[in-house]
Amino acid sequence: MSKPASDSEKTVFVVDDDAGVRDSLCELMAAAGIDCRAFASAEAFLESLTGNERGCVLLDEALPGLSGAETLGILCERGVHLPVIMITAHGDVRLAVTAMRAGAWDFLEKPWARDSLLAAVDGALRHEHDIHLREQKQADAAARIADLTPRERQVFDRLVRGDTNKQVARRLDLSPRTVEFYRAKVLEKADTDNVAGLVRLAFASGELKP
Which residues, 6+ apart, have CB-to-CB distance to 111 below 8 Å? none
What DSSP element (H or E) covers 33? none
CA dihedral sign of residues 160, 164, 170, 176: positive
**Taking the domains of the chain in order of start, what are their residue ranges?**
7-134, 147-205
Cα–Cα–Cα angle for 32, 109, 111, nearest 5°? 65
pLDDT digits (tens), the chain, 210 positions: 344 444 446 899 999 999 999 999 999 999 999 999 999 999 999 999 998 899 999 999 888 899 888 999 999 889 888 999 998 876 666 777 777 777 888 988 888 889 999 999 999 999 999 988 888 899 999 999 999 999 999 999 999 999 999 999 999 999 999 999 999 999 999 999 999 999 999 999 988 887
What is the number of other CB atoms lying within 10 angstroms of the CB of residue 110?
Answer: 15
pTM for the model stands at 0.72
Three-state SS at 192: coil
The CATH code of domain 147-205 reads: 1.10.10.10
Contact 195, 180 (CB under 8 A): no
The CATH code of domain 7-134 reads: 3.40.50.2300
